[in-house]
């Protein structure tokens, strides 16, 4: 559907997002927006957990005094034994020591992007670029928080607020100007990537422009909301299932609950589509709930947080940043009013303080019914 009706060619788009230039561009964007500087630190591989790991020290910008902020570790490529997907992990929280000195935070992004080789550069699909920004949103929250106690540091917030800063940063991946600035066709990179392009295309003249052309950006941006309502309904269905299994009256009640039937009944109610795996009437088929690992981690009885914080992210983005995604004055205000607070005060107070009013669901609802 995306290819036929919206002419979105994800493979062609990926050619403009090699991992290393995308990561560098992404760091440049957040440096500008939040008053930071990142400097790569060359460490011996025995001082990290794998030779792939890149280490960056983060500092306040010169205008802010150039003080040290913390360390960012990037472990970008997949390898045997490494978890799949992408995630941000706090390695050491920031807090104030007994002698009033500061203990600086260390945070890590773990991804599983395809490892580059002489034949194939590591190119990111657009959804992977979005994921990268999302996880970087967590990492920045983790780096710049300034709280007294470690238990309130950075992403240690109420579960239904914690995703908002990372979800908000995703909006930068859907803005044509930001996408263009971030793009860099792999054939215009020196060395291995150019060699791999020549391997594929021979001596043919390189016709691809360095930056992603407008028609590819247009098709991508137009497709942003395709199938989004279904995706949200699936999230709603998981959230309802999560709440159902976390509030039975007794231990015996949960032991006797038919998990598959409960999940399928909720899904049929929330998203009444005939799916190919459904063999017939009734609800006792398949075990789709078995894939929901979030329900046994930090998101137990908290899966609703993804949708809840999306509403906050939409409000913050459309209210404050939509007019100018490079407004570093607002970026700094966001850093000071929201990111620095971590979980040290009621998150609704934090959001209300940043917005200057109570949060509204309207911007999120407007997204669901684009003109
Ligand atoms: Zn997240």
**Residues 58 and 36: beta-carbon distance below 8 Å:** yes
Same domain, 66 and 182: yes
Q: Which of 41-50, 282-291, 322-331 is predicted most confidently?
A: 322-331
Distance 360 CA to ligand 1 centre (A): 21
**Residues 26 and 137: beta-carbon distance below 8 Å:** no
Range of the domain at 217: 2-222
Q: What is the band of 136 on the pLDDT scale with cuts at 50, 70, 90?
A: very high
Other CB atoms within 10 A of residue 11 CB: 9
Which pLDDT score, from 0 to 100, does residue 194 have? 60
Angle, vertex CA 86, rays to CA 133 and CA 33, nearest 5: 20
Same domain, 270 and 340: yes
Which chain residues have CB less than 5 Å from ligand 1, an ion?
Answer: 163, 166
Q: Tens digit of pLDDT for each residue in 224-261? A: 988 888 899 999 999 999 999 999 999 999 999 999 99
Distance 88 CA to ligand 1 centre (A): 8
Q: Tens digit of pLDDT for each residue in 206-224? A: 556 789 999 999 999 999 9
Average pLDDT over residues 100-113: 96
Q: Phi, psi (5° rounding) for residue 292?
A: -85, 80
Last residue of a domain, one of 222, 252, 279: 222
**Residues 96 and 102: beta-carbon distance below 8 Å:** yes
Q: How many CA atoms does the CB half-sphere of 136 hold within 13 Å?
A: 25
**Residue 244's domain is classified under what CATH number?**
1.10.1370.10
CA–CA distance, 73 with 185 (Å, rounded to integer) = 25
**Residue 84's domain is classified under what CATH number?**
3.40.390.10
Average pLDDT, the chain: 90
Same domain, 364 and 297: yes
**ipTM of the complex model:** 0.99
Average pLDDT over residues 337-351: 96
Closest to 58 (Cα-Cα) out of 67, 70, 75 = 70
Q: What is the band of 87 on the pLDDT scale with cuts at 50, 70, 90?
A: very high
Distance 163 CA to ligand 1 centre (A): 5
By annotation, the residues acting in catalysis are 135
Distance 80 CA to ligand 1 centre (A): 24
Same domain, 10 and 126: yes
Same domain, 215 and 68: yes
Instruction: Give me the helices (H) in the chain, please.
Output: 2-6, 10-14, 19-34, 126-144, 159-162, 164-170, 176-182, 192-201, 214-222, 228-245, 251-255, 259-270, 305-316, 328-337, 347-355, 362-368
Last residue of a domain, one of 175, 201, 222: 222
Residue 71 backbone zone (phi > 0: left; psi -120 to 50: alpha; other: beta):
beta
- Going by C-beta distance under 8 Å and a sequence separation of 6 or more, which residues neighbour residue 243? 301, 304
Same domain, 276 and 363: yes
- What's the number of domains the chain is made of? 2
Same domain, 292 and 156: no
Same domain, 177 and 270: no
Average pLDDT over residues 122-147: 96
Q: What is the band of 120 on the pLDDT scale with cuts at 50, 70, 90?
A: confident
Same domain, 208 and 242: no
Which pLDDT score, from 0 to 100, does residue 187 have? 82
Distance 200 CA to ligand 1 centre (A): 36
Same domain, 139 and 178: yes
Last residue of a domain, one of 194, 222, 250: 222
**Residues 110 and 73: beta-carbon distance below 8 Å:** no
pLDDT at residue 107 tops 90: yes
Same domain, 181 and 80: yes
Same domain, 237 and 335: yes
Which residues, listed in sequence order, are joined to residue 74 by a DSSP beta bridge?
54, 109
Characterize 157-173 residue by residue with b for buried, 16 or more Cβ atoms within 10 angstroms of its Cβ, and e for exposed.
bebbbbbbbbbbbbbbb
What is the percent of the chain where pLDDT is above 90?
Answer: 73
CA–CA distance, 139 with 137 (Å, rounded to integer) = 5
């Amino acid at each position: 559907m995306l290819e036929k009706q919206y002419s979105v060619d994800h493979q062609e788009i990926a050619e403009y997002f090699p991992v290393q230039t995308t990561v560098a561009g992404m760091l440049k964007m957040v440096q500008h927006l939040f008053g930071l500087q990142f400097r790569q630190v060359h460490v011996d591989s025995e001082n990290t957990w794998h030779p792939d790991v890149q280490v960056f020290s983060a500092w306040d910008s010169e205008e802010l005094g150039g003080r040290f902020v913390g360390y960012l570790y990037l472990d970008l490529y997949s390898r045997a034994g490494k978890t799949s997907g992408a995630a941000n992990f706090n390695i050491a929280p920031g807090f104030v020591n007994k002698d009033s000195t500061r203990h600086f935070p260390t945070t890590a992004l773990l991804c599983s992007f395809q490892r580059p080789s002489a034949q194939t550069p590591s190119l990111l699909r657009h959804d992977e670029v979005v994921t990268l920004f999302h996880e970087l949103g967590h990492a920045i929250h983790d780096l710049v928080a300034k709280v007294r106690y470690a238990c309130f540091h950075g992403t240690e917030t109420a579960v239904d607020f914690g995703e908002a800063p990372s979800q908000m940063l995703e909006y930068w991946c859907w803005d044509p100007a930001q996408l263009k600035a971030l793009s860099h066709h792999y054939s215009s990179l020196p060395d291995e990537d150019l060699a791999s392009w020549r391997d594929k295309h021979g001596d043919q003249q390189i016709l691809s422009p360095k930056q992603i052309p407008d028609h590819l950006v247009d098709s991508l941006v137009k497709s942003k909301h395709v199938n989004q309502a279904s995706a949200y309904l699936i999230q709603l269905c998981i959230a309802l299932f999560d709440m159902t299994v976390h509030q039975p009256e007794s231990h015996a009640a949960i032991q006797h609950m038919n998990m598959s039937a409960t999940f399928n009944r909720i899904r049929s109610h929330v998203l009444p589509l005939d799916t190919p795996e459904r063999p017939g009437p009734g609800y006792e088929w398949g075990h789709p709930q078995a894939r929901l690992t979030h329900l046994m981690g930090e998101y137990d009885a908290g899966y609703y947080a993804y949708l809840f914080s999306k509403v906050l992210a939409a409000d913050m983005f459309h209210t404050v940043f939509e007019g100018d995604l490079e407004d570093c004055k607002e970026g700094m205000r966001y850093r000071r009013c929201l990111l620095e607070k971590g979980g040290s005060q009621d998150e609704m107070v934090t959001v209300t303080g940043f917005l200057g009013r109570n949060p509204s669901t309207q911007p999120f609802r407007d997204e669901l019914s684009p003109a």
